[in-house]
Structure 1
Amino acid sequence: MLLDTPICDFGWQAPDFKLKNANGDVFSMSENLGKKGLLIMFICNHCPYVKAIATRLAEDTEQLMAEGINVLAVMSNDYQHVEADSPQNMLRFAEQYGFKFPYLVDEDQQVGKQYGAVCTPDFFGFNHLGELQYRGRLDDARLHNDPNREPELLNAMQLIAAIGKGPKQQTASMGCSIKWR
């Protein structure tokens, strides 16, 4: 089912969480909320929308991390019913696309629910205070690899890092619904 994300609720405070990656390493929101902010994104392995942007996502997030902006990805799908999203397949998917960010398993789906995540991909850009400043899409290329794309997420996170505020104009991300239990 194709869904769009809601508009940005500027200033919404990010709830803390602790999640493990597929190797069992623990990551928390609060420990990753850096001086330049934090991008939390809800993605999965099987979604055609995530697959279509995965290479661009890896490139843009690598640039953000090089600039001191932290990035976490969360997989909230019920992988018992969608085997492609299992932790082992998360490792393969991350390696295939060269993801440098932690890719975390939301085993009980609580983080996805707390954040109000609705689809994959769903991007949440926070400033250094943990206040939501971006809830838009990756870029304007949608499912295509357009070299002339506008990297909206990258630009928004750089703005948030610089001034603590996100752009007023944001275009919703769209993708597959999260597979809830």
Structure 2
Amino acid sequence: MSSKSLIAVDNLDISSSVDAGFFLIVIFPKNTSTQYSISVTISKLSKHYREGLIEGKLFHIAGFQQTNEDLSLAAGILKMVAGIKGAYAFLRGNLETELTPISNVLTCLKTSSFADNKAAYCQLPNALGVSILLPCRVISGFAYVLNKESIHSLKDQVQALSVSKGCDWCPNFNIENTKPL
């Protein structure tokens, strides 16, 4: 498949899905997983569902918007198809092959929507090493890599950490919420 575009292969053209401006598009093949049927059923609940063939194999496409309902559906599907060969996603138009980090951030984002104050949910103090208020719950367990003696500012280090852990795209993530304590 390396010589073919991921956007248009055989009779499945996903360019309209990517161009439609969906926050997340999940693509996965027919497979033998025990969760296949439920994955397809949930995908069909998305705002945009298509299926088609790529090199003779059936693939499913589900497009999601940035609503609580869609985030919940997308997180569920990603958990079910994350380990399946040939499953991938477009997150804000960028191709992603590692689906578990996306699922983790979507789950966190959805959970934050239940908090009266999202900042109180998302922002956590770092208890180890550098005393800092972190802008993201997802990176809180990894803040031990931050170093006051680094040539890079703490904000730059936190932003780089968020990229490495895959949460920099979260709508709740705001690097300006990084504050020394």
TM-score by length of 2: 0.23
> Which of the pair has the greater relative contact order for Cα pairs under 8 Å at 6+ separation?
1
Bigger CA radius of gyration: 2
- Structure showing the higher helix proportion among its residues: 2
